Amino acid sequence: MSDQPPVCDYEGSDYRTRFWENQGREYEDLTERVAINRLMAPTGKTLIDLGAGFGRLADEYDGYDRVVLFDYSRSLLREAQERLGDDPRFVYVAGDWYRMPFVAGLFDTMVQVRTIHHAADVPSLFSQLSRIGRPGGEYILEFANKRNLKAILRWLARRQSWSPFDPEPIEFVELNFDFHPKWMAQELERAGFAPVQILTTSHFRLGVLKRSVPVNLLVNLDSIFQYTGRWFQLTPSVFVRSINPSSGKKANPGTFFACPDCGNPIGLVDRGLLRCHTCQLGWRVENGLYDFKEPVEISSES
């Protein structure tokens, strides 16, 4: 649809091998896992990982009955399938987060790490999440912090033109945004979320430290400093735990997917499609991947 915000597409990318595997980011990976486990309820019925990619964090969700790995990239989700095997708890869904293909009030927990920096329209995204989250559930969000110490020092030294104190998001390259903590808190609250806890991570994200200090020591130090996020946020990465809006209803038993065009619940797979007979659209299901990126037109007789 032409009026939809642009979506960052990692289809066919080498993101896993280029950015994570053997790329010196074990420190970042481990500190993010510490923060997630401090903020996230350890057990629940349904969880969605937004922008799950190749399933980097999937092993942190062992306490959940059903886990949706949601991403716009089919190829990254296929990598997740290969990594995770035949575990029936995992549901692989490709789609646009501005048109979420789920019924309202479905997820106990929503987790979004290292992906909202690709969101050109955060309010629209939050509107979708407030709809699909269970009333009183939780939303664990990590975002790239515009007001980090490095950006402040660069600005003071006149080595960057934009101010880290300006509340508006900064798009430093196409579809890559940094966010001011106060702006993010404001948008969460506008969408009905109630932020209740803030942690900061990557306090020691410096190449010289990561090369010279054992990673476990850096992670332990970072885990201590994470709690300073309650008072100030100067790190490049900030985690926020919010409570989902209490308005609305839980999803009806037995419902799960909804048509991203009309919002009506859609049920069983029929001839490789999830079919919406209200708007006459179908959505492909191939080898365990539910593909809501591009619809297939169906006739009322089929």
299 and 177, same structural domain?
no
- Domain membership of residue 2 (yes or no) is no
In a domain, 3, yes or no: no
Confidence label for 270 from pLDDT (cuts 50, 70 and 90)? confident
User: Do residue 156 and residue 277 come from a single domain?
Assistant: no
pTM for this model (two decimals): 0.96
Please indicate, yes or no, whether residues 86 and 128 belong to a single structural domain of this protein: yes
State which residues form the domain around 262: 257-302
Select from 236, 251, 266 the last residue of a domain: 251
Q: What is the pLDDT of residue 248?
A: 81
Q: Is residue 4 part of a domain?
A: no
DSSP 8-state symbol, 147: T
90 and 188 both lie in a single domain: yes
Together in a domain, 111 and 141: yes
pLDDT confidence tier of residue 267, bands split at 50, 70 and 90: confident
In a domain, 5, yes or no: no
- Crossing angle of the two packed helices 122-132 and 181-190, in degrees rounded to 10: 50
Taking residues 133-160, what's their average pLDDT? 97
Sign of the dihedral through C-alpha 277, 279, 280, 281: negative
Residue 210 has pLDDT above 50, yes or no: yes
72, 92 Cβ separation under 8 angstroms: no
| CATH number, residue 110 | 3.40.50.150
111 and 186 in a single domain? The answer is yes
Q: Provide the pLDDT confidence category of residue 1 given band limits of 50, 70 and 90.
A: very low
Same domain, 81 and 25: yes
Last residue of a domain, one of 234, 251, 268: 251
Q: 276 and 228 share a domain?
A: no
**Whole-angstrom Cα distance, residue 221 to residue 147?**
22
pLDDT score at 300: 55
> Do 245 and 273 belong to one domain?
no
Task: Decide if 140 is inside a domain.
Answer: yes
Is residue 9, in this structure, part of any structural domain at all? no
- Does residue 281 surpass a pLDDT of 50? yes
What beta strand segments (E) does 90-132 contain?
90-94, 107-112
| 10 in any annotated domain | no
Same domain? 148 vs 263: no
How far apart CA 52 and CA 23 sit, in angstroms, is: 19
- Give the DSSP H/E element, type plus range, for residue 188: helix 181-190
Tell me the pLDDT band of 264, cut-offs 50, 70 and 90: very high
Last residue of a domain, one of 209, 225, 251: 251
Rounded to whole angstroms, how far apart are CA atoms 100 and 299? Answer: 23
User: Is the pLDDT score of 28 beyond 80?
Assistant: yes
Residue 127 has pLDDT above 50, yes or no: yes
CATH for 265: 2.20.25.10
Residue 225 lies in a domain: yes
Give the residue among 66, 15, 37 at the shortest CA–CA distance from 239: 37
Tell me what pLDDT residue 271 has: 86
Q: Do the beta carbons of residue 226 and residue 38 sit within 8 Å?
A: yes
- Total number of domains in the chain: 2
Q: Are residues 247 and 261 in the same domain?
A: no
Do residues 183 and 282 share a domain?
Answer: no
